[in-house]
Amino acid sequence: MLVGFLILLLFQFAGELIVMALAMPVPGPVVGMVLLLVCLIIKGEVPESLRLPSEALLKHLALLFVPAGVGLMTHFSLLQADWLAILLALIVSTGLTIIVTALILNPSAKKLHQLEKE
């Protein structure tokens, strides 16, 4: 299990290094998880040493939102001042996400349906 946590931390570290080197406006852990996803796709499976710690983290995922909630309460005055812009951004981004997901999923579902027929 320790090896799995080490792998996750190494990918997070790699993501942080890439973000710093390229001055990307994306969080390092997100880049690290994309790198991990690419590696897992290439490998074709999730190793047991990585699956176990990942499942353990997912079981306690709600605890990882506590710092974000504290941050929201710390900056409540900013939220109160810009609530309309934040609400609009949330609605638009959610709508765009749903539309893009549908556009990607529809052709994928058709292709899968064709493969099932064969």
pLDDT digits (tens, 9 = 90+) for 10-35: 999 999 999 999 999 999 999 999 99
Average pLDDT, the chain: 89
Same domain, 35 and 9: yes
Among the three residues 59, 78, 101, which one is the final residue of a domain in this structure? 59
Same domain, 112 and 84: yes
Question: What total number of domains does the chain contain?
Answer: 2
Q: What is the value of pTM for the model shown?
A: 0.59
Examine the pLDDT at 115 and tell me if it is beyond 80.
no
Residue-wise pLDDT for 36-63, tens only, equals 999 999 998 999 999 999 998 889 888 8
Which of 49-53, 94-98, 100-104, 111-115 is predicted most confidently? Answer: 94-98
The boundaries of the domain holding residue 80 are: 65-118
Residues 91 and 84 sit within 8 Å (Cβ to Cβ): no
Q: Where are the beta strands (DSSP E) in the chain?
A: none
Counting every residue, how long is the chain? Answer: 118
Examine the pLDDT at 78 and tell me if it is beyond 90.
no
Spatial distance between the Cα atoms of 61 and 4, rounded to a whole number of angstroms? 17
Same domain, 38 and 69: no
